[in-house]
Chains A and B, each alone.
Chain A
Amino acid sequence: KQEVTQIPAALSVPEGENLVLNCSFTDSAIYNLQWFRQDPGKGLTSLLLIQSSQREQTSGRLNASLDKSSGRSTLYIAASQPGDSATYLCAVSLNTGNQFYFGTGTSLTVIP
């Protein structure tokens, strides 16, 4: 069974800092990996999707990397802003099915 772990569980940084969120998974036979953002009381918003054949994806201040062999992904946020405060979840899907396996998330607080 696929296990997805996110470290740290919570992170607090001053505005303007660059930061890295980590995601690790146990089964490297993934189809793709997605990073989501979840605001309190809201559903999930997809940020970046990395296909298994890709190494990274970028969108604005966000950059996600994927290393299948080591079972790791990172989400890099540049020049953090208070509006970035949210919970960030990574999810992987396996070649064998349609299901996403989610991590437990990292709660980010950016202090003005």
Chain B
Amino acid sequence: EAGVAQSPRYKIIEKRQSVAFWCNPISGHATLYWYQQILGQGPKLLIQFQNNGVVDDSQLPKDRFSAERLKGVDSTLKIQPAKLEDSAVYLCASSTGTGMYQPQHFGDGTRLSIL
């Protein structure tokens, strides 16, 4: 089965610019997660979708970050405007459901560098 696909793999932008990341989860997976992983730290959950509805976005900086999953399949995460502290790897993961026994399958991530 195909894994979680993310693009682009790398992105370099200047501060105050906008950027968008795309994620295509494993086919049939209802739950989709976006994580931010700063260098030397563990991933931090930004937002969790169940189909096209938001389950948890409590740690999403909503003044600059937005995410959508319009048709309950693929998803985009946007940052506008970007700050230096947004430099990180953005990981997308998917699972079959919201149950904590459902393993999450991760993509390879998008590495964002802010100049």
Chain A residues in the interface with B (C-beta under 8 A)? 4, 31-32, 41-46, 49, 51, 89, 91, 93, 97-100, 102-105
Contact = CB atoms under 8 A, between A and B. Distances in A.
B106 A43 contact: yes
A43 B4 CA distance: 10
Query: Do most interface residues of chain A lie in helix, strand or loop, or is the interface mixed?
Result: strand
Interface of B: 4, 40-45, 48, 55-56, 58, 91, 93, 98, 100-101, 103-104, 106-109, 111
Contact of A4 (B40, B42, B56, B104): B42
A43 B108 contact: yes
A43 to B, nearest CB: 3
Contact of A102 (B44, B48, B101): B44
B46 to A, nearest CB: 11
Nearest 7 CB-CB pairings of A with B: A102-B42, A43-B106, A44-B106, A46-B103, A31-B100, A93-B100, A99-B45
A59 B38 CA distance: 29
A44 B4 CA distance: 11
A98 B56 CA distance: 8
B53 to A, nearest CB: 13
B91 A43 contact: yes
A49 B101 contact: yes
A43 B103 contact: no
Given A4-B42, A44-B91, A104-B41, A98 B106 contact: no
A45 B106 contact: yes
Given A98-B56, A99-B58, 14 more contacts: A4-B42, A43-B93, A44-B93, A45-B106, A51-B101, A89-B43, A91-B42, A97-B56, A98-B48, A98-B55, A100-B43, A100-B104, A102-B44, A104-B40
